[in-house]
Structures are given as C-alpha cells and as structure tokens.
C-alpha cells in the first residue's frame, strides 16, 4: 500500500504540474514564462499534492485509495485531451487519444497502464478488508474475499492491457482487453447481492442503480443516440462510483460502546452490570435511558448516631418488657434469705452487692 500510494501521488503531482502549465499556455496564447514563474507554479502544485498525500497516508482508508485512482485517471485524461492533435477524437472513442505518437498519446496510454497496475495492487487491499469484515462477522460469505480480489485484479490487468496495446496497432487484442475489463466489472455487479451479504444495504441499492444506468446507457448507445466515447465516459464514472461506495461500506462498522454511557456504579447483589452489556445504541439519548434503567441503586449513607437511635427505637417497639428484676428476686439465695429473716424477725436487705464484693463472694 505504501509503495502504490507513493507512486500514485508522484504521478498525480507530475500530471498536476503539466496541467497547470498547459492551462497557462492556453490562456496566455502560448506566451513563454520565466524560470522563476515556472518554479513557483511547480512548487505550488507539488505542495498541494503533498498535503493531500499526507492526509491520505495519515488516515489510510480505502476511500482515499479510490479517490487517488480516480484523480490519476481524470488528470491523465484531461492532459491528453488538452494536448491531442485531433480535435474530433470524441466522435470515435476514447482510445483514439492513445493513437498519436506524441505527448497526448503517451500520457493517455501511460495513465491507463499506471491506473490498471494500481488497481491490481488495490485488489490486495480489497481482500484484506473483506477478510477483516468476515472476521468481525459482518460478511457472511467466506469466498467473497478471494473472488472479489480476483475480479478487481481482472479489471486492473485488462485496463493496463488497453494502454499497452493501442487500438491502431492491434485492434483485436485491444478490443478483447476492453471486453475483459467490462466483463470483470459486470461480474462484480452481479455477484454483489449474493457474496456481499451482511454489509450495509446501501451497497446493494447502489449496485442495482448502477446496473440499471449501465443498461440504459448501453441501450441508448445501440440505438445510436450517443457515441462510444460518451458511453465509455459513463462506464468509467459508474465504475469508480461503485468502487467508492464499496470502499465506504466495507470499512463501516458499529460504533464501540463509550465509557461515558457505561454504568459507573459498582455492581451489587441482584443488580450485576457490565460495560459489555450496554448496547451500542444509535442515539446517545436512547443509550442513556437504557443505562439508567440498569444502573444499580447507590446505598444511602446513615450516620452511626442515627443508626443507634433507630435500633434503640425499634428494640423498644419490638422487644418484650424486661422482667430480669423479678427473675432475680426468685433466686434460691434470695428465697433462703427471706426465710432466715422471717425466723429472726428482720427484713432482708435490699442493697445489692457491687461488682467487687460479688467477685469476692
């Protein structure tokens, strides 16, 4: 991925500088520029591409790789269109741009070769992201990563062959290469509803819409309403659009549970909670309501004095009356003392011995 991204951004930088000078030449009527002006324009173009490359490398997302391929194709085609010696090329087909042994022909064929080679390298990324989706249980088919990688590589290899074999040299091989690219892309569209089950449904809807537009375009082309060049532009635009939708769908996943929405109270008996039990809701409000229902009740803090008063009041209300004094009066020692006092005519002493005298006795 790093090598492919570096090569692509280098080519984009060169094409951007070339397009800048071509546009300035056309606008100024062919006037020459100084070395300082040329250096300033070239440096500005390289700076813009460097910023784009830095952002794409920092994120390292599939959609940025698709945008890189699209930018390379568009810039190369524009450079070839602006410099072609045949102003009526659009009346035939796009491949007419690569038939001239000049700058326009070299740029067009080189753009097809470079884009096709980068699409072949992109197929390895397609296999890796589909395997990741399969590991996350977002993709049901186990054969999809291998099949889609082969088909994407088929699109890229046939596109590179179209650039290697200009139509004015070997028309039969050139047409077979273009047919192979078309069939590979058609197979991607046909197999998407079956092999890519589990991915977001917008991919299936976009695939159906693109297939319908292609069928309408083919019908209009056969009827002679549009020429082959217009149909090729439509097909290339739809192909890169589908790859872009595929890239956004295959890397989209459910949002992880945030710690802010996780229950913060410690689990208690009968109210066990876990961070993994919190659902990944689509809205934060729904997630907070769900967590509030499952949140454990916090214990009420009561002071020691309040607990003593409460326990004393509950004991006074619940416990039976204290009859220990009556029980002590019926002890054998007390009964014998009463008997002796009756014999001697004296009343027994009601003084109770202290703890020390009782211990001495």
Q: What is the pLDDT of residues 117-134, one digit of tens each?
A: 989 988 888 888 888 888
Q: Tell whether the model's pLDDT for residue 304 goes beyond 70.
A: no
Query: What's the pLDDT at 201?
Result: 85
Assess if residue 144 is contained within a domain.
yes
Alpha helix positions (H), 165-295: 171-195, 201-222, 228-250, 284-294
Mean pLDDT (the chain) is: 73
- The listed range with the strongest mean pLDDT (44-48, 241-245, 272-276) is 241-245
Q: What is the pTM of this model?
A: 0.63
Q: Tell whether the model's pLDDT for residue 322 goes beyond 70.
A: no
Q: Tell whether the model's pLDDT for residue 150 goes beyond 90.
A: yes
Alpha-carbon span 196 to 251, nearest angstrom? 13
Backbone phi, psi, residue 334, to 5°: -70, -40
**What count of other Cβ atoms lies within 10 Å of the Cβ of residue 12?**
22
DSSP 270-314: TB---TTTS---SSHHHHHHHHHHHPPPPPPP--HHHHHHHHHHH
pLDDT top residue among 293 and 15: 15
Query: What's the pLDDT at 212?
Result: 92
Alpha-carbon span 279 to 271, nearest angstrom? 17
Determine what percent of the chain is predicted with pLDDT higher than 90: 6
Alpha-carbon span 238 to 244, nearest angstrom? 10
**Residue 157 pLDDT level (bands cut at 50, 70, 90):** very high
Q: Tell whether the model's pLDDT for residue 53 goes beyond 60.
A: yes
Assess if residue 307 is contained within a domain.
no
Domain range for 195: 61-250
Assess if residue 293 is contained within a domain.
no
**Residue 103 pLDDT level (bands cut at 50, 70, 90):** confident
pLDDT top residue among 357 and 113: 113
Q: Tell whether the model's pLDDT for residue 275 goes beyond 90.
A: no
| Max Cα distance, the chain (Å) | 152
Assess if residue 179 is contained within a domain.
yes
Assess if residue 216 is contained within a domain.
yes
Assess if residue 94 is contained within a domain.
yes
- The listed range with the strongest mean pLDDT (19-28, 263-272, 313-322) is 19-28
Backbone phi, psi, residue 266, to 5°: -75, 145
Q: Record the tokens describing residue 346, joined without a space.
A: 């004296």
Mean pLDDT of 192-205: 86
Q: Tell whether the model's pLDDT for residue 283 goes beyond 80.
A: no
Assess if residue 141 is contained within a domain.
yes
Alpha-carbon span 14 to 31, nearest angstrom? 21
Mean pLDDT of 286-311: 52
Mean pLDDT of 29-53: 73
Residue carrying the six token digits 């009561």: 302
Mean pLDDT of 170-186: 88
Assess if residue 51 is contained within a domain.
no
Comparing 60-74, 144-158, 254-268, which segment has the lowest mean pLDDT? 254-268
In total, how many domains does the chain have? 1
**What count of other Cβ atoms lies within 10 Å of the Cβ of residue 96?**
21
């Amino acid at each position: 991925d790093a090598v492919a991204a570096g090569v692509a951004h280098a080519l984009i930088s060169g094409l951007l500088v070339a397009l800048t000078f071509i546009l300035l030449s056309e606008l100024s009527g062919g006037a020459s520029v100084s070395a300082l002006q040329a250096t300033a324009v070239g440096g500005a173009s390289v700076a813009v591409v460097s910023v784009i490359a830095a952002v794409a490398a920092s994120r390292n997302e599939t959609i940025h790789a698709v945008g890189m391929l699209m930018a390379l194709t568009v810039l190369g085609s524009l450079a070839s269109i602006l410099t072609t010696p045949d102003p009526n090329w659009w009346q035939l087909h796009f491949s007419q741009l690569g038939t001239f042994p000049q700058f326009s022909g070299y740029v067009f064929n080189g753009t097809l070769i470079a884009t096709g080679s980068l699409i072949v390298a992109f197929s390895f990324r397609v296999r890796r992201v589909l395997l990741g989706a399969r590991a996350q249980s977002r993709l049901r088919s186990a054969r999809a990563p291998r099949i889609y990688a082969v088909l994407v590589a088929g699109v890229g290899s046939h596109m590179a062959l179209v650039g290697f074999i200009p139509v004015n040299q070997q028309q039969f091989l050139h047409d077979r290469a273009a047919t192979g690219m078309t069939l590979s892309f058609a197979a991607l569209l046909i197999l998407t509803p079956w092999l890519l089950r589990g991915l977001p449904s917008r991919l299936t809807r976009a695939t159906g819409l693109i297939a319908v537009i292609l069928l309408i375009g083919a019908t209009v082309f056969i009827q002679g309403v549009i020429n082959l060049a217009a149909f090729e532009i439509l097909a290339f635009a739809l192909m890169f659009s589908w790859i872009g939708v595929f890239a956004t769908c295959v890397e989209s996943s459910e949002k992880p549970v945030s710690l802010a929405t996780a229950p913060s109270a410690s689990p208690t008996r009968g109210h066990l909670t876990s961070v993994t039990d919190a659902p990944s809701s689509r809205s934060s409000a729904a997630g907070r309501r769900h967590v509030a229902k499952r949140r454990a009740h916090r214990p009420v803090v009561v002071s020691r004095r309040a607990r003593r008063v409460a326990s004393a009041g509950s004991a006074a209300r619940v416990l039976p009356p204290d009859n220990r004094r009556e029980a002590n009066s019926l002890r054998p020692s007390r009964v014998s003392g009463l008997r002796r006092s009756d014999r001697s005519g004296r009343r027994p002493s009601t003084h109770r011995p202290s703890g020390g005298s009782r211990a001495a006795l």
